[in-house]
Structure 1
Amino acid sequence: MKNKFIDLNGQRFLLRNCGDPDLPPLLMLHGFPEYSGAWQDLAPHLSSHFYCIAPDQRGYGQSWAPEGVGHYALSRLVSDMVTLIERFARPVCVLGHDWGASVAYGLAMFRPDLVDRLIIANGVHPAPFQRAMAAGGAQSEASQYINALRAPDAAERLSADNFAKLEQFFRFGMGTDWLTDQQMQVYRTEWARPGRLETMLNWYRASPLVVAKPGAPRTDLPKLPKDRLMVRCPHLLLWGREDKALLSESTEGLEDYALDLTRIDIPNADHWLHHQQPKAVAQAILGWMAR
């Protein structure tokens, strides 16, 4: 993937790209604790059909990283990508993973004129996810890490001993055979950029979603009006069922918000399916697009 810097809303962002610019654009949005290089395994399998574009999102990598939690509200994150898509003067296909899925859903829900098709890889729509996290059951238990990442001292704890605890978080309960020592060093380099880990964590702090304690359901939830959260374009959900952070129950009822939904499970994969099974993920995407 080639690198270049671009201006979005008057701020500097790093953008990686792969493929022929004359092909249909595919906007690829990474999650935590990754960066745009997270797509280097998958993009080559898609670049014969798409012009793959992958930004370091706000607060990550070499892109703009303002201080303050308020800069990481979903509306701000979506605004960055709206400005990027408008450069193409046409709707684009959007692919989001993990936190990148939240931005991808935001684009599809609030700027449907800019999204031709929506692809989510182990990411969650806010309404079914909030329902599952508030129930006090398995997803609530699996999501307790969110409260830890929201803590004021989280960056200090995770960065100690050359990011030992963040690496442990990255690897915990997941298949990370794809993560070589060399790749791990690249991630440490990205995390070590001044202030970056704090701004990465601000994505969690800015979210209004509530995490219940196991066995203690919550009812004091943010308002999530269904009519504003609809995905009206064709939507593909790719899922690695071995995910320990996002359980399948976090997507139950998604059909109520996405009337043209296709679900495809990726075998032998968990949260990092785009690294573990890039060829299978690409084949699923291309097969769905062809249909």
Structure 2
Amino acid sequence: MWTETVELNGEAFFLRHWGERDAPRLLMLHGFPEYSGAWADLAPLLAQRFHCIAPDQRGYGRSWRPTGVQHYKTAHLVADMVALIGEEPVTLLGHDWGASVAYALSIGRPDLVDKLVILNGVHPAPFQRELARGGAQTDASQYIHFLRREGSEDLLAADDFARLMGLFSAHMDVSWLRGETLGGYKAAWRDAAGLRGMMNWYRASPLKLGASGEAIEGLQFDSARLQVRCPHLLVWGTGDTALLPETTQGLEEYAPDLTRVEIAGADHWLHHQRPEAVARAILDWL
């Protein structure tokens, strides 16, 4: 593994690399509240075939952390990755919020994505549909209201990130998050000022979410504009309590070349809990 800092659209971004430089590129996009080091379990298993490239995305880790919410609109997050990719397409892998960027990039710049792999992440249309229903996913996502509040980063950073750790571990297995791994996460989070960029992803998101049990009427989705046209693999840890299985129902309408693989005994943090199974699913599919 080696690291570097590069300039993307005039700003500094920190990257981790695994594998041979001349191997096919696999761009790996982390979610919340992770950073490029989140791939330390999975990337070495994929580096036998790929040059794995993992950025600290905007607002995270050692990359550029603007304070204004306007800097975190999806178009800006995608533009970062367009600049990183260059002209030659890549295989793209995303988890959680990284999956959101990966879907947006695959939909908006299909010329840059050969294949799409998603680990417990959601396409925007089925996810918004479930958020708007006022059902189980609406209830499971109520934490988003807290994260969007001004000053949430201060509360999450207090007492050595106690509340942030609570979000990480809510009803899921984080036995892997200890020792040097935990130290790496806390170093990436730094402090409340360091967490602000992470919160701004939620504040800038156009996703609509009501109160618990509250449905939102009148939302419409243009499936023709939201198509993933490349081959797509969805790897799903079946114990996820943050993103529920119904958020992927009907995904084939938006991704006709879709393959699904479920991993029992894993939840939202499947790339930490079952990296060998996740790697096997990806490599077998490819």
TM-score higher than 0.5 here?
Answer: yes
| Cα offset, 1:92, TM superposition | 0.4
> Could you tell me which of 98, 101, 105 is aligned with 2:99?
101
Alpha-carbon displacement from aligned partner over 1:68-125 (angstroms, at most 9, x marks no partner): 1110000000000000111xx3110000000000000011000000000000000000
Q: Check the 8 A contact 2:157/2:191 in 1, yes or no.
A: no
Which residue in 1 is equivalent to 2:202?
204
Q: CA deviation at 1:153?
A: 1.9
Match among 249, 259, 270 for residue 267 of structure 2? 270
Give how far 1:212 is off. Answer: 2.5
d(CA) in 1 for partners of 2:49 and 2:266? 24
Q: Deviations over 1:172-215 (max 9, x none)?
A: 11111111133222211111157220111100010011113232
Identity of aligned residues (%): 58
Equivalent residue letter for 1:4 = E
* Cα RMSD, aligned residues only: 1.1
Q: Which residue of structure 2 lines up, in the alignment, with residue 69 of structure 1?
A: 69
Other-structure match for 1:236 = 233
Secondary structure in 2 aligned to 1:133? Answer: helix
Alignment of 1:47 onto 2:47: yes
Taking the aligned partners of 2:191 and 2:39, their CA distance within structure 1 comes to 20
Equivalence for 2:34: 34
Query: Conserved in 2, the CA contact under 8 Å of 1:135 and 1:212?
Result: no
Counterpart of 2:5 in structure 1 is: 5
**119, 135, 138: which is aligned to 1:121?**
119
CA contact (8 A) 2:37 2:184 kept: no
What displacement does 1:21 show? 1.2
Indicate if the aligned counterparts of 2:157 and 2:192 stay in contact, CA closer than 8 A. no
Partner AA of 1:43 in structure 2 = A
Aligned-residue offset at 1:162: 1.1
- Normalising by structure 2, we get a TM-score of 0.98
How far apart, CA to CA, are the structure 1 residues paired with 2:210 and 2:230? 32
The residue that corresponds to 2:58 in the other structure is: 58
| Structure 1 CA distance for aligned equivalents of residues 147 and 192 of structure 2 | 18
User: Quick check: 1:19–1:48 contact (8 Å CA) kept in 2?
Assistant: yes
Which one of 140, 143, 148 corresponds to residue 141 of structure 2? 143
| Residue type of the alignment partner of 1:120 | I
Q: Choose which of 232, 242, 247 in structure 2 pairs with 1:250.
A: 247
> Match of 1:214, as an amino acid?
S
Specify the alignment match of 1:171 in structure 2. Answer: 169
Measured after TM superposition, the shift of residue 220 of structure 1 is 5.5
Q: TM-score, normalised by structure 1?
A: 0.96
Partner of 2:81: 81
How far apart, CA to CA, are the structure 2 residues paired with 1:154 and 1:116?
Answer: 38
Shift in CA distance, 220/207, structure 1 to aligned 2, threshold 3 Å: farther
Give the paired residue count.
286
Alpha-carbon separation, structure 2, partners of 1:139 and 1:202:
21
Q: Give 1:162's aligned residue.
A: 160
Provide structure 2 residue ranges, at least 5 long, that are not aligned to the other structure: none
Partner of 1:103: helix, strand, or coil? helix
After the TM superposition, which parts of structure 1 deviate over 4 Å for at least 4 consecutive aligned residues? none
